[in-house]
Structure 1
Amino acid sequence: MATNDRYPRQATTLALAHALSAAERGLAVIPLSRTKLPALRSPHRDDPTAPPCHGECGRPGHGVYDASTDPARVRELFAAAPWATGYGIACGLPPHHLIGVDLDTKSGTDATGALRELALRHLFTIPPTVVVRTPSGGRHLWLTGPPEVVVPNSAGRLAAGIDIRGAGGYLVGPGSRTDHGVYAVSPGTAHLAPAPCPHSLLRLLLPPRRRHRATPGGAHGLGLVQFVQAAHEGQRNTRLFWAACRAYEDGIGDQLADALTEAAVHTGLPEHEARSTITSAARMTRPTP
């Protein structure tokens, strides 16, 4: 029994050491469990009426929104999750604006071949970069994107077996121990920095442009939409809520809801959270009988 109790502590200590090393390189991290999920559960899990929260409440348990490069904060997160055996690296954050290309091998897919085919078709090459091997035999390629570009997460959109980790997503860090094994840096790539994503590949990672539509509410509605589009990490939900409240107060909330949702998604906010925030704003501004 003592041996079984001792092993998790060793795994957590090792995971913390790897996480602190990553944080020193400017990579924001969170503790992960052996299932590769965030080790800390949401503090709002027992309150179904709680509004969307990305850590504004000040408590840990908000997944990738807890990610930090501050050693004291990283130690604090791991202290709150002594069962953690790995760490996640948040994508899309400065200074690296990390983009993860996850090449899966499960179900017999040849993701590496699919990426090679895409490269030939769209005339790009993957530069030398950090490569992390997964316990299942897959690979994670680490790339960086421009600060002004928000790359969304996707699964199999490029090709079968190719998943993309972008804004709001995370990569399992090398040295993490999971139920299926340990993640490790591929030989010969540990000394490399994440390479810039080729422009042709970056274009493939972005969602297709939508046709321009007139914004309901004229100049005022356009101003509210632009206010949401200018939101940065940590203020997206707050800006969306404020803009939605103004829209409903001015009688254009229902007409502007889709445009506000699209603007929020453009900043990296998940669509279901954006619509939930707009619904909350509509409820808050509804006239009292």
Structure 2
Amino acid sequence: MGQAAIAFARRGWFVFPCNVQNGRPLVGGDRDDDGNVIKNSGGLHKATRDEAQIEAWWRRWPVAQIGLHSGVSGLLHLDFDPRVDETVDPETGEVLADTWTVDRLKAALLAQMGEALPATLTSVTPSGGEHHWFRMPAGEPIGNRGNLPKHIDVRGQGGYIIAPPSERIGDLAQGGKKIPWARAGAG
């Protein structure tokens, strides 16, 4: 996994190690003179292209997932997060399921934007969702946003994704789940 992280760094992208079970950053924050963690000094704020640092991290955490800091890497990611929303009908008590597939999410975005997304590099998430990879547009960097249709997020300045070929390991009896690249034409 460390070699894949170094390959991203060589592309100019900033990486850091993340927990294999929940995707949270493994690199802690700096501490002040009183021993308190300094806010916004760990995790994605430690992302680097320094190969020696990356090698050291992956020696310590050899199976760590690759966190990729979107904004400082000059990237913008659209995160399509499929799920089932359950609500309870207040009158009948019936549990109602509203299923959000990737196709339904893309249709909702198309309806809001008025045009389809351009073809781009796409990776698959452990939930079966997709991360669409774009270059950050010129001008003021775009931050994380939530003004798109439900369950579609933007990962930009101040955000990160877990990049392939990372592996999410949940219940050890079930084994891991690789995070792959999507097939060409699948987006």
1:69-218 → structure 2 map (5 Å cutoff): 69-79=49-59, 81-82=60-61, 84-94=63-73, 97-107=74-84, 108-155=99-146, 157-180=147-170, 181-188=177-184
The answer (yes or no) to whether the contact 2:58–2:64 under 8 Å persists in 1 is no
Q: Percent identity?
A: 24
Within the alignment, does 1:24 sit opposite 2:7 as a pair?
Answer: no
Q: Larger strand proportion, structure 1 or 2?
A: 2
1:2-17 → structure 2 map (5 Å cutoff): 15-17=1-3
* Secondary structure in structure 2 of the residue aligned to 1:168: coil
Query: What is the deviation of 1:114?
Result: 3.0
Q: Distance in 2 between matches of 1:135 and 1:122?
A: 27
Q: Distance in 2 between matches of 1:187 and 1:118?
A: 21
Q: Distance in 2 between matches of 1:138 and 1:53?
A: 28
Q: Larger helix proportion, structure 1 or 2?
A: 1
TM-score for both structures, normalised by structure 2: 0.75
Question: CA 1:77 to 1:83, structure 2 compared with 1: closer, same or farther past 3 Å?
Answer: closer
Partner of 1:263: none
The answer (yes or no) to whether the contact 1:110–1:161 under 8 Å persists in 2 is no
Question: CA 1:162 to 1:144, structure 2 compared with 1: closer, same or farther past 3 Å?
Answer: same
Within the alignment, does 1:33 sit opposite 2:19 as a pair?
Answer: yes
Q: C-alpha deviations, 1:10-54, integer Å up to 9, x for none?
A: xxxxx1121111112221111111121112233439944x55453
The answer (yes or no) to whether the contact 2:141–2:156 under 8 Å persists in 1 is yes
Q: C-alpha deviations, 1:179-231, integer Å up to 9, x for none?
A: 24111101227xxxxxxxxxxxxxxxxxxxxxxxxxxxxxxxxxxxxxxxxxx
Q: Distance in 2 between matches of 1:161 and 1:120?
A: 15
The answer (yes or no) to whether the contact 1:103–1:112 under 8 Å persists in 2 is no
The answer (yes or no) to whether the contact 1:133–1:140 under 8 Å persists in 2 is yes
* Secondary structure in structure 1 of the residue aligned to 2:72: coil
Q: 1:177 is matched by which residue type in structure 2?
A: E
The answer (yes or no) to whether the contact 1:30–1:68 under 8 Å persists in 2 is yes
The answer (yes or no) to whether the contact 2:125–2:131 under 8 Å persists in 1 is yes
Question: CA 1:83 to 1:42, structure 2 compared with 1: closer, same or farther past 3 Å?
Answer: farther
Computing the radius of gyration over CA atoms, which structure comes out larger, 1 or 2?
1
Q: Distance in 2 between matches of 1:92 and 1:133?
A: 20
Q: Distance in 2 between matches of 1:111 and 1:151?
A: 23
Q: Distance in 2 between matches of 1:72 and 1:148?
A: 32
Alignment gaps of 5+ in structure 2:
85-98, 171-176
The answer (yes or no) to whether the contact 2:80–2:105 under 8 Å persists in 1 is no
Q: Distance in 2 between matches of 1:175 and 1:77?
A: 17
How many correspondences in the alignment? Answer: 163
Q: 1:85 is matched by which residue type in structure 2?
A: A
